[in-house]
Structure 1
Amino acid sequence: MKLANYLSASWQTGAGEGQTLFDPVTGEALVSVSADGLDLGAALDFARQTGGPALRALSYAERGALLGKIAELLQSKRADYLDISLRNLGASESDASADVDGAIFTLKSYARAARALGDARHLKDGAPVPLAKTDIFQGQHFLLPQTGVAIFINAFNFPAWGLWEKAAPAFLSGMPVLVKPATPTAWLTQRMVEDVVNAGLLPDGALSIVCGGARDLLDHVAETDVLSFTGSADTARRMRTHPSVVAASIRVNIEADSVNSAILGPDAAPGSAEFDLMVKEVVREMTVKAGQKCTAIRRILAPAATVRALGDAIAAKLSKISVGNPRSEGVRMGPLVSKAQQAAAFAGIAALKEECDVIFGGDPAAFTPVDADPAVAAFVPPTLLYCAAGLAAKKVHDTEVFGPVATLIPYTDTMDAIAIARRGKGSLVASVYSADSAFLGELVPAIGDLHGRILVVNGSIGNQHTGHGNVMPTCLHGGPGRAGGGEELGGLRALLMYHRRFVVQGDPALLAQLSVNAADAALLTA
């Protein structure tokens, strides 16, 4: 079966045989995708001219109600989505739930948040600014929804959440969406779009999908569009410098490579609550979705006196993780999504071994997955490494192995821990496990400018925290530097990506008239 693309309010099949998607456990061919021969420029024009005006004719609250209806629809078809996740991603029910339920939760969050903006159709930004000796001439800043298309080129690891965490604020802002999901796992994204289209929940042109290669998509971007990409830094650089993107100066949001850190405080001795909480979180981050999360822990920093005990504790828990076919009882970790990703992970492990020792795993030949043939499946065993070189090392700070792989690194003092964390050159998240206020007071401000999010866990928080790798719709997701420099989510803050600020200068009566249907932009950051 070849998946259809939905463009210009019609289902269209790409030419040729297309690219086949496989079950990463059994190697079974599932569906194929192709975008060959499709007119992507016409699809973008249709979305701008038809979908955008229809969305912007609605108020923020009305668009929020649409998000709520989409969430209800997806919830009703949850079982179908979990089945596709199992077959196309090799995801266990819990891993698929993180993707599918995360998407539904995000949609519901934005549906609720939209109520604060009410019947408004644009935003007023701040108070009037006096521009003359009297009040007769003033300036008023506004935020208007952009009149182009929100173009999403997404990653393979979250085909459900990756769509809706971006689409929710775009739709709420009044921008139509065209999504190009990553080819290896496009099936789930395509099915969700198909279900929403068939239910008639959105105006024509509001939601489009192209599966397979992006082809000449970026050749057709216009000044009012927004481009959001999740994937490798190399691909991100090519997108940022694409001639059409540069010429149109369109807004670009990137989420790219991230060598995230987990940091154990000097007070967190073996047996302490903070020590045990970090062990639990590292193991979870290494094994949930087989480590295929952009927010997963890649570097584990610990005091030199504690690092070996920490490694032993993590390895002991990893030894109890059953890896194999997620259809089999007792299996806790499944495969990577493809043989190509498996090969990339093995190459990354080999590179890390040049400056690291293996504490646990690391040898594919000594690993046998449960109820699966290693020759056709895409498994990578959980692998824990140790790098004694610390800041002097290179590959451990520069290489993101997108799988169940993490490296322990000792630090000597707080300044050393800060330097090592910063050596990641920009990360989505760091987590710190400590109850030492002096250590935290020095560390957190010193790494904050190179991290999008910092999770601080102590014994009083316990297991109530949302997790190192969990992205919450009400908090910022993104990171500077190597991580792409982009920002997503953060509650209503995400709407700023899809609005443009401008100022009107004139008499107070005019400014008051233009403010009638405007909500206060301060609500976006309240």
Structure 2
Amino acid sequence: MTTELLPNFLGGEWVAGQGESQTLTDPVTGEALVRVSSAGLDLKAGFAFARERGGAALRAMSYGQRAAMLGAVLKVLQANRDSYEAISTANSGTTKADTAVDVDGAMFTLGWFAKAGAALGEARALLDGPAARLAKDDVFRSQHLLLPARGLALFINAFNFPAWGLWEKAAPALLSGVPVVVKPATATAWLTQKMVADVVAAGVLPAGALSIVCGGSGGLLDALAGEDVVSFTGSAATAATIRGHAAFREHSVRLNVEADSLNSALLLPDAAPGSDAFNLFVREVVREMTVKSGQKCTAIRRVFVPAERYDAVAEAIGAKLAGIRVGNPRDESVRMGSLVSRDQYRTVRDGIAALRGVAEVLHDGDSHALVGADPAVAACVGPTLLGARDAAAATLVHDLEVFGPVATLLPYASLDEAHALVRRGQGSLVASLYGADHAALAASCLALGDLHGRLHVVSPDCGAAHTGHGNVMPQSLHGGPGRAGGGEELGGLRGLGFYHRRCAVQAAPAVLEALAPAVIQP
């Protein structure tokens, strides 16, 4: 039986791709689900429609009106949540809890920007700091403004968050007044396409404000213009290819990249076995290894502990991992579902094999019998904890990210050595620190903050309230320097900056005062 071909939405119309299509499958059962294709689309015309129709309509609104629009989108998504859960289970192999991380996380982020944007009221531009005097008698000043970009925002997204990956970018873009074109990763594009279809059907966005291209990415970058912006989430190798395109080299199209990240968890020396900080550390490492089967760009990959705690930590993590049931997410006893595809399964298996060349196996994921799944078909990999007693010599651990339920335990002799080892990740999205010594935690923040987009500091006094190492909150920065891509997203209303252009207006105070009704300090 032929599976349904999902249409693209471009130029204000639903358009089926032509020619060869790609089939999306259930990563647990291998069942064919739907097909996608972007072949034959007129991308340049579709992009022009988004800029001219969608952009103009969005910019005609105030921030407050666009915030209300986001609130309307949220209501549409909430009304259709059950269908999103079904698609996520079928196409991504996720448990209900893992679906919530993606789908409910998307809705929370959308709701946050709707509420924050409402406070911007009727403004049409943003102030960027106070005015500066340019003349001795103060008759000439400089005022920096942020004005919405008049291009479109192209999102080239990864496979692991088909819901959140769209809306964490689209919320600040649409609030800024910039139309969105999303190209979801093919393997899990169904959920993204369904969300876009529901929003389009509800008519809560202006024509051209939201478009989707499913299937191949050929020609997307060729259709860009100078005022557009691009946000890419994926591998560093693909990011390097994108950066070489003429759109960025010759036309200065703005590019934000989130790429590979060897995120760390660091247990400070004061956290003895059995202490609250020690237990919080173990719990979070296990959670990060198993949530979404370790397929999170923020997941913990390297686990740093004092050398004298190495065996105790290995035992404690291993004991918790032994209780994780892996398999078909439709079985309510299953705690961890599958990877998104057999291709990803093979990549993770190859990565584990490579790390085993420099590390010992402390907990073997292969020891888990799959629940309700055929190991010859399902893309399931059990949680695997490796360990390297010589952390400095295990170079590959600091270079290779295995994008699955895999982490490596690494000992350190001093806190200075721990900081140096963490920094060998060459730039990460997040590192988490665990201990009860507030001064030592603060010192580690200063030692590591420049090489991380976010530091998640967990001490017993916030142990019951912290939001989680891997959870990306809309109020906090998401991104990281170096190998993590050098990009920045979210960070509260700072997230609007990527979709605005900064301009210095040099004028008499009276002119700047005349601007006042149209601008606001975010």
TM interval, short-chain normalised: over 0.9
Report whether the alignment pairs 1:70 with 2:66: no
Report whether the alignment pairs 1:390 with 2:391: yes
Amino acid at match of 2:120: L
User: In 1, Cα distance between the equivalents of 2:217 and 2:284?
Assistant: 37
Report whether the alignment pairs 1:475 with 2:505: no
Give the corresponding residue for 1:125: 128
Check the 8 A contact 1:71/1:107 in 2, yes or no: yes
Check the 8 A contact 1:221/1:245 in 2, yes or no: no
Q: Deviations over 1:378-406 (max 9, x none)?
A: 01111000011212221101111110000
User: In 2, Cα distance between the equivalents of 1:250 and 1:155?
Assistant: 21
Report whether the alignment pairs 1:195 with 2:198: yes
Question: Which of 17, 25, 37 is the aligned partner of 2:28?
Answer: 25
SS of the residue aligned with 1:152?
A: strand
Give the corresponding residue for 1:56: 59
Question: Which of 4, 7, 16 is the aligned partner of 1:4?
Answer: 7
Aligned residues: 519
SS of the residue aligned with 1:227?
A: strand
The alpha-carbon deviation at position 439 of structure 1 amounts to: 2.4
User: In 2, Cα distance between the equivalents of 1:348 and 1:50?
Assistant: 46
Give the corresponding residue for 2:210: 207
User: In 1, Cα distance between the equivalents of 2:397 and 2:411?
Assistant: 12
Check the 8 A contact 1:218/1:242 in 2, yes or no: yes
TM-score under structure 2 length normalisation? 0.98
Check the 8 A contact 1:66/1:202 in 2, yes or no: yes
Check the 8 A contact 1:150/1:225 in 2, yes or no: yes
Q: Which region of structure 1 is more displaced relative to structure 2, 380-389 or 131-140?
A: 131-140
1:345-364 equivalent positions in 2, closer than 5 A: 345-363=348-366
Amino acid at match of 2:441: L
Give the corresponding residue for 2:320: 317
SS of the residue aligned with 1:390?
A: coil
User: In 1, Cα distance between the equivalents of 2:315 and 2:127?
Assistant: 56
Amino acid at match of 2:196: V
The alpha-carbon deviation at position 503 of structure 1 amounts to: 1.4
Question: Which of 336, 340, 344 is the aligned partner of 2:339?
Answer: 336
User: In 2, Cα distance between the equivalents of 1:309 and 1:126?
Assistant: 51
Report whether the alignment pairs 1:422 with 2:423: yes
Report whether the alignment pairs 1:253 with 2:256: yes
The alpha-carbon deviation at position 438 of structure 1 amounts to: 3.8
Give the corresponding residue for 2:271: 268
Check the 8 A contact 1:391/1:423 in 2, yes or no: no
1:66-465 equivalent positions in 2, closer than 5 A: 66-363=69-366, 366-465=367-466
Check the 8 A contact 2:326/2:368 in 1, yes or no: no
User: In 2, Cα distance between the equivalents of 1:511 and 1:456?
Assistant: 43
User: In 1, Cα distance between the equivalents of 2:512 and 2:265?
Assistant: 50
User: In 2, Cα distance between the equivalents of 1:230 and 1:476?
Assistant: 15
The alpha-carbon deviation at position 459 of structure 1 amounts to: 1.5
User: In 1, Cα distance between the equivalents of 2:301 and 2:464?
Assistant: 21
Check the 8 A contact 1:349/1:362 in 2, yes or no: no
Check the 8 A contact 2:359/2:394 in 1, yes or no: no
SS of the residue aligned with 1:487?
A: strand
Check the 8 A contact 2:62/2:124 in 1, yes or no: yes
Check the 8 A contact 1:17/1:32 in 2, yes or no: no
User: In 2, Cα distance between the equivalents of 1:433 and 1:130?
Assistant: 47
Amino acid at match of 1:338: S
SS of the residue aligned with 1:27?
A: coil
The alpha-carbon deviation at position 116 of structure 1 amounts to: 1.8
Check the 8 A contact 1:221/1:248 in 2, yes or no: no
TM-score under structure 1 length normalisation? 0.97
SS of the residue aligned with 1:460?
A: helix
Check the 8 A contact 1:180/1:209 in 2, yes or no: yes
User: In 2, Cα distance between the equivalents of 1:418 and 1:5?
Assistant: 47
The alpha-carbon deviation at position 362 of structure 1 amounts to: 4.7
User: In 1, Cα distance between the equivalents of 2:130 and 2:433?
Assistant: 40
Amino acid at match of 1:303: P
The alpha-carbon deviation at position 444 of structure 1 amounts to: 1.5
User: In 1, Cα distance between the equivalents of 2:32 and 2:370?
Assistant: 21
User: In 2, Cα distance between the equivalents of 1:53 and 1:323?
Assistant: 49
User: In 1, Cα distance between the equivalents of 2:375 and 2:130?
Assistant: 64
What are the ranges of 5 or more consecutive residues in structure 2 without an aligned counterpart? none
User: In 1, Cα distance between the equivalents of 2:127 and 2:373?
Assistant: 58
Amino acid at match of 2:197: E
SS of the residue aligned with 2:454?
A: strand
User: In 2, Cα distance between the equivalents of 1:25 and 1:128?
Assistant: 59
Alignment identity in percent?
Answer: 60
The alpha-carbon deviation at position 325 of structure 1 amounts to: 0.5
Check the 8 A contact 1:124/1:142 in 2, yes or no: yes
Give the corresponding residue for 1:466: 467
User: In 2, Cα distance between the equivalents of 1:196 and 1:88?
Assistant: 20
User: In 2, Cα distance between the equivalents of 1:128 and 1:458?
Assistant: 41
Give the corresponding residue for 1:511: 512
Q: Which region of structure 1 is more displaced relative to structure 2, 220-229 or 510-519?
A: 510-519
The alpha-carbon deviation at position 336 of structure 1 amounts to: 0.1
Q: Which runs of 4+ in 1 moved over 6 A?
A: none
User: In 2, Cα distance between the equivalents of 1:131 and 1:266?
Assistant: 53
Q: Deviations over 1:422-448 (max 9, x none)?
A: 010001111111012342233211111
User: In 1, Cα distance between the equivalents of 2:298 and 2:351?
Assistant: 17
Q: Once superposed, what is the RMSD of the aligned Cα atoms? A: 1.1
